[in-house]
Structure 1
């Protein structure tokens, strides 16, 4: 359930919603952090649910002492009316066996808001790629039937590769195929749910491995920016994404000098 921060917030008719999947390397969440920080998006509310691990913390996008004391929760909504853009940031993992009710609640909210399109940022295990996925671009996309018509020409112009289907029984029966996104969290289920609910949704993902996934987040965002033009580059230079202040402690505070 969406709870507005101050007054009722209603997205414009042409509003795009971006959200991450809690997937391998947290690449989608890191990319969403960069979007919020770079565009300086104000918080308009939070998504209240008992399906996510509870958490609370300081403002991850603090720029001074005054706003550093603001609190953040596990699922918050940010918006930028000038770009007709809304973002749902998810900061904790799903509680076991509560993926389905979370997806249902999320789908109901998306339909209620009437977003023009939804883009899910995700990732998948690089080591589980099949032969056709190893060569070429590490990025893939999926679109629901409702969005396919309006973006088909754009995807073709950008030369993006659609996520391949893999055999259900490799080497035995290669006729039966399905979409497989190992390490993608609820990506596949959310996509299939949006297909059945006729929601205009796209999945944009990157193959990667666990580790320092900051470069993967930057790469995914640069890739997405070619389509959505979230941040316009200047002088034909690649867009400069602003890292949030919270990333300074992404890998801890370092070793105490007293150890040496």
Structure 2
């Protein structure tokens, strides 16, 4: 993965927050919300060959001089918080997800990142238990222990993702690939997929395993959702990220009085409304 820094800018070494593409695009929506609300500034452009190019809006408007597609990942830094946000605008080329995850992990390690926070979503149609609550339940896995547990996440009321099991065959296969010791025996499940193979087959799982193999601290914050209007889910996932990162919603630097700043990219989520004269 190649990158070009904006003049006079650099990466903060603390935490990088990035989305992993999944159902409802909740991770991407949350990152845009965090970028706009923390007054983060673009610091670089990333070029990654395993992803498609895209034309898209930024959290604050259209990219300047958009005359051709740009790389999918754009890093933003919030200087007052020492945080980096990396946004993903387009999907990974089919069959190259593992290459992509490896390149992201290599990049994060090369710029001295200490903590990677991955925001993503899970299909509510496959959840095993339903919690009776009006709030979105945040689930997590962390690299701080072999079983994925983390005391800080538990303190915030998050629940460890039950579907994460290091001894499950596909999770084992991912970890072995990330560590450079792939086992042919573990790869035999591809023709016989089971329900437990769903989560380790998602982008967040590959990113988690490869970043962990690099010795980075990794936390995945996840929520269940469906396709459709996921603004509420995105607000709550972004709020959960703020809690973990130590950001106070009342003191976000994006506005004078604090609080969320809805990014202009959210205005284009569903396209323009139809011309009412046709009805």
In structure 2, the CA distance between the partners of 1:98 and 1:60, relative to structure 1 (3 Å rule), is: same
SS state at 2:250 partner: coil
Q: Does 1:258 align with 2:277?
A: yes
In structure 2, the CA distance between the partners of 1:128 and 1:59, relative to structure 1 (3 Å rule), is: closer
Counterparts of 1:147 and 1:116 in 2: how far apart (Å)? 18
Alignment match, 1:249: 268
Counterparts of 1:156 and 1:249 in 2: how far apart (Å)? 35
Which of 219, 227, 239 aligns to 1:202? It is 219
Number of residue pairs the alignment of both structures matches:
241
Alignment match, 1:89: 87
The answer on whether the counterparts of 1:147 and 1:201 sit within 8 Å (CA) in structure 2 is no
With the length of structure 1 as denominator, give the TM-score of the two structures.
0.81
The answer on whether the counterparts of 1:20 and 1:89 sit within 8 Å (CA) in structure 2 is yes
In structure 2, the CA distance between the partners of 1:246 and 1:189, relative to structure 1 (3 Å rule), is: closer
With the length of structure 2 as denominator, give the TM-score of the two structures.
0.76
Query: CA RMSD of the aligned region, Å?
Result: 3.0
Shift of 1:83: 0.7
Counterparts of 1:178 and 1:192 in 2: how far apart (Å)? 17
Counterparts of 1:68 and 1:108 in 2: how far apart (Å)? 27
Counterparts of 1:17 and 1:148 in 2: how far apart (Å)? 23
SS state at 1:251 partner: coil
| Runs of 5+ unmatched residues, structure 2 | 170-194, 252-257
| Runs of 5+ unmatched residues, structure 1 | 170-176
Alignment match, 2:230: 213
Shift of 1:230: 2.9
Alignment match, 1:173: none
Shift of 1:70: 4.6
Counting only pairs closer than 5 Å after superposition, residues 1-260 of structure 1 correspond to structure 2 as 1-7=1-7, 9-13=9-13, 15-62=14-61, 69-71=64-66, 73-130=71-128, 133-135=129-131, 138-145=137-144, 152-165=150-163, 180-181=198-199, 185-233=202-250, 240-260=259-279
Alignment match, 1:174: none
The answer on whether the counterparts of 2:104 and 2:207 sit within 8 Å (CA) in structure 1 is no
Shift of 1:74: 2.0
In structure 2, the CA distance between the partners of 1:59 and 1:155, relative to structure 1 (3 Å rule), is: closer
Counterparts of 2:12 and 2:147 in 1: how far apart (Å)? 22
SS state at 2:227 partner: coil
SS state at 2:199 partner: coil
Shift of 1:192: 1.8
Q: Which has the higher strand share?
A: 1
SS state at 2:160 partner: coil
SS state at 1:233 partner: helix
The answer on whether the counterparts of 1:5 and 1:43 sit within 8 Å (CA) in structure 2 is no
Please give the per-residue CA displacement for 1:10-69, whole angstroms capped at 9, x wherever unaligned: 4344x110000011100000000101111121111111012111112454413xxxx774
